[in-house]
Chain A
Amino acid sequence: MSDTTTRRVVEASNRQQGDHPSGDNRFELVDKHLKRARYEQDQLIETLHVAQDVFGYLSEDILIYVARALRLPPSMVYGVATFYHLFTFEPPGDHSCTVCTGTACFVKGADAIVQGVSDAYSVPTGETSADGSLTLKTARCLGSCGLAPVVVLDGSVLSHQNAESTLELVGTAVGGEG
C-alpha cells in the first residue's frame, strides 16, 4: 500500500462511524473512485485495484459491492478478479516477502531463496503462515535484473540475495515485532 493510500485509509476510518451505509468508511474511497470513473463498466479492473489497495484484499462482500455499483453480474466480477494474478482474496500477513523469480533471478538461484523461506516458516508460496506473521509471494519479474536475485521485504528492495541473507532479514522483520 502506498503512503498516500495509507493516509487516506486512516483518515477515512477516523471519521464518524457509520458515515457510509455499510458502517465501514473505507468504502468511501471506493465510491470516490467509482464516481470519478462515472460508474463505467470498463473501469472494473481499476476499481478492483482501488478496493484491494484500500482493504488489502478482496473479500466476497467487496466483490459484491463492486458488482452492484457497476451493474455487473457478481459472477463476472468474480471471473475477472480471479483471472488476474495480482488480486488476492485472503487477508495478507503482517509482513510480506516477495521473491523475484524472473529469468535473471532464476539463473542466479532465486529458487533456493523461495525454498529457504518456505521451509523456515512452513508457508507455501502464495500463502500466509499459520500465525499470520508472514506472506510469501513470488513475482514474475520486478525488472531490476541488474540486482538479481531480488527480494522485496515489506516494500523495500533487497539486492543480490541468497537464502541465508534473506532468512536473516526476514527473521529480523518478523521477530522484531514480538
Chain B
Amino acid sequence: MAAPIDLHEVMEREREERFRTRWRVKACSSTACLSAGAGATIKAVEDLVEREDMALEVQVIPTGCMGLCSAGPLVRMMRRGGDESDYQKVTPEAAIEIVRSHVLDEQPVPEYELDVTMPFFTSQERVVLANGGVINPDRIESYVAHGGYQALEKALTTMKPKQVIEQIRLSRIRGRGGAGYPVASKWGLLASAPGKTKYVVANGDEGDPGAYMDRTIMEDDPHRVIEGIAIAAYATGASEAYIYVRAEYPRAIERLDRAIRVARRNRLLGRKILDTNFNLSVEVRIGAGAFVCGEETALLASIEGLRGTPRLRPPYPTEKGLWGAPTMINNVETLANIAPIIDRGGEWFASLGTEKSTGTKVFALAGDITNTGLIEVPMGTSLREIVADIGGGVPNGKEFKAAQTGGPSGGCIPAKFLDTSVDYDSLRELGSIMGSGGLIVMDEDVKMPDVAKYFMEFSMDESCGKCTPCRAGTVQMHSLLQRLTEGNGSKQDLRDLEHLCSVVRDTSLCGLGQAAPNPVISTLQYFRSEYEALIHEEEVVHA
C-alpha cells in the first residue's frame, strides 16, 4: 500500500511552483466562460507563451468559476507577490494584448479591465466558492495548496466522531437543498442508527431550472465535495458513499470520477485513510433526467437502478435507506460547507448570516438582470442588495417586477418585499422557499400567469405518476392555466384552480407534488389582478 499524501509537503511544493514565474494568468474555464469562448482564449495565451518563449515568465492556470458569467471569458493577471488585474470579455486577440502588455511593459490594459470594486465583488462573502477562480480543479495539489484536506486530517487524527458532529451542531448549518433541515440532527440520526452498513449520499441532482450552484461546485471544486463526504462518513460511521449527479452535467461527472481516483491513490479515500482505521469508498451514480429524483427517497430508488419514484416517509432514509440500510442524504452545497466548518470551527460559521439561518448561500442570479452569474452572500442579505447592488439592477430601463426563488417548488416575490432578508424563514413567510438557490429576476414585461403556467408545465412533465393528486392534479391545473392565459377562462376556472391548488398541496405523496401549486399560489397572492384581467366575460360556458 502506498504511503498517504503528505499534505504539508505538497503545500510547500505548490508554493514554490506558484512563485516560479513572475506572472500567473488565471483563466476561468467553467462552463459559462467556455461557452463564451474561453477555450480559444486560453489556447491563444498558451501559444503566445510558447511562441515568444515566455515559459519562464508566465504560467497559465485554468480555474473554476470566477462568478460574473455575463462578462466572460474572464482572465486574471497576477504578478508575483503583488498586483492583480482582472479582465472581462477577453477574446483571443485581447488576451494576447493583455499578456504582452503586462509582461513586456508592466502596463495594464484599461480597455478590458474589470472593476473589482463594484458591489458584485465587494458584497460577496465566499466560503463555498472560495476556491472558484483560484484553484485548478483538475489538480489535487492545487486544492491541497489552498488548505484542502486539512479538515479531514484534523477530524481523523484529532477528533472523535461525536466531536465532529458537535462542531456541526455549533455551526447550526441547515440543509442547502431547499427544506433547511438542521444538518447536525440528520448526522446524529445516522450516527445512532444500528447496523454496520451505513451510507452517505451526496445529492447532486440539481433539477431546478435556473439553478447551477451545485454543478459549479462539483465541476470547480470536486475535492471539496469529497472531503465533505469523507468527514460526514467518519462522523456517522458510514463506510460507503455515493454521489448522485444528473446526467446533464457530464463535466461534473468526469471531474468527480477523476477526483475520486486521485483521492484514492493518495490514500484520502479507500482503506486506512491517512493511515487511520477509517475506510470509505465513494462512487458516482448518474441520473437520467428526472426532476423527482431530487426527492430523497426517489433518489435512493434511482441509485438502486429502479424507476425514481418516491415512497412514504417514515421510515426515513436514516432508518431504512439504500438496500434497507441506514442512509443519509446531504446536498452537495451542504457538504461543501463541511470542511470550512471543521477547519475554522462551528462558532465561526454561526457568526455568519442570521440567528436561524447561519452561514452563506450561493445563488445563481439570472433573468432580467445586468450581472448574471454565481454569487455567494451571507444569509440575511436583503433581496434589494442582491438585485440592485450585486446584480446591478434590471437592464434596459425596465422596472423590477418580481424575483422567483425555489424553482418549480417556489414562488415569486414582488417588488414591495424587496427589503426582505433572504433566509429560510422569511422566504417561507412570503410563500416562496429558499430552494437550492436559483434566483430569477423578472422585469415589468413578464406576465405572471405565464410564469405560473411555465412552472406547472414543468411539474406536470416531471410528475412521476405514482400518486393521483400530483399526476392528475398538475394536468388539470395546467389546462386551467392554459385556458386562462389564452383568454378563454372564466371566474369558475379561477375558483377551480385555487381549489385544486390546496387539494394537490395537501394530499400529494412527496415534496414535488406538495410544492407544485406554489408558483400558482404565490402569483395569485401578489398578482391576482393579472389573472382577473384575463377573464373577459362574466361566465363562459364550456362545451
Most buried by B among A42, A139, A140, A146: A146
A83 pairs with B249, CB closer than 8 A: no
A145 pairs with B35, CB closer than 8 A: no
B289 pairs with A107, CB closer than 8 A: no
CB distance from A43 to the nearest CB of B (A): 6
CB distance from A21 to the nearest CB of B (A): 25
Q: What separation, in Å, do the CA atoms of A107 and B394 have in the docked complex?
A: 13
A143 pairs with B308, CB closer than 8 A: no
Q: What separation, in Å, do the CA atoms of A145 and B288 have in the docked complex?
A: 21
Most buried by A among B208, B305, B404: B305
A84 pairs with B291, CB closer than 8 A: no
A13 at interface, CB cutoff 8 A = no
Which residues in window 32-57 of A have CB below 8 A to B? 41-46, 48-49
Q: Pick the contact of A45: B206, B210, B302, B404 (CB < 8 A).
A: B302
B488 at interface, CB cutoff 8 A = no
A87 at interface, CB cutoff 8 A = yes
A-B residue pair count with CB separations less than 8 angstroms: 126
Residues of chain A within 8 A (CB-CB) of B372 are 104, 145-146, 148
B442 pairs with A84, CB closer than 8 A: no
A89 at interface, CB cutoff 8 A = no
B209 at interface, CB cutoff 8 A = yes
CB distance from B426 to the nearest CB of A (A): 21
Q: Considering the complex, give the chain A residue whose CB is closest to the CB of B284.
A: A46
Interface 1/0 per residue, B330-369 and A, CB below 8 Å: 0000000000000000000000000000000000101110
A80 pairs with B249, CB closer than 8 A: no
B35 pairs with A41, CB closer than 8 A: no
CB distance from A78 to the nearest CB of B (A): 11
A141 pairs with B288, CB closer than 8 A: no
Which residues in window 156-215 of B have CB below 8 A to A? 206-212, 215
Q: Considering the complex, give the chain B residue whose CB is closest to the CB of A43.
A: B305
Q: Pick the contact of B248: A107, A142, A147, A157 (CB < 8 A).
A: A142
Interface 1/0 per residue, A98-135 and B, CB below 8 Å: 00011110111000000000000000000000000000
Q: What separation, in Å, do the CA atoms of A46 and B212 have in the docked complex?
A: 23
Given contacts A106-B209, A145-B440, 15 further A-B contacts (CB under 8 A): A46-B285, A84-B290, A87-B288, A87-B289, A103-B367, A103-B404, A103-B438, A103-B440, A107-B367, A140-B209, A141-B207, A144-B35, A145-B372, A146-B366, A157-B34
Residue positions of A touching B, CB distance < 8 A: 2, 41-46, 48-49, 79-80, 83-87, 101-104, 106-108, 139-148, 150, 157, 159
30 contacts between A and B (CB under 8 A): A41-B305, A42-B303, A43-B305, A45-B286, A46-B285, A48-B288, A80-B306, A80-B307, A83-B308, A84-B308, A85-B289, A86-B248, A102-B209, A103-B367, A103-B407, A106-B209, A139-B248, A140-B207, A140-B209, A141-B210, A141-B211, A142-B248, A143-B211, A143-B364, A145-B366, A146-B373, A147-B36, A148-B372, A150-B35, A157-B34
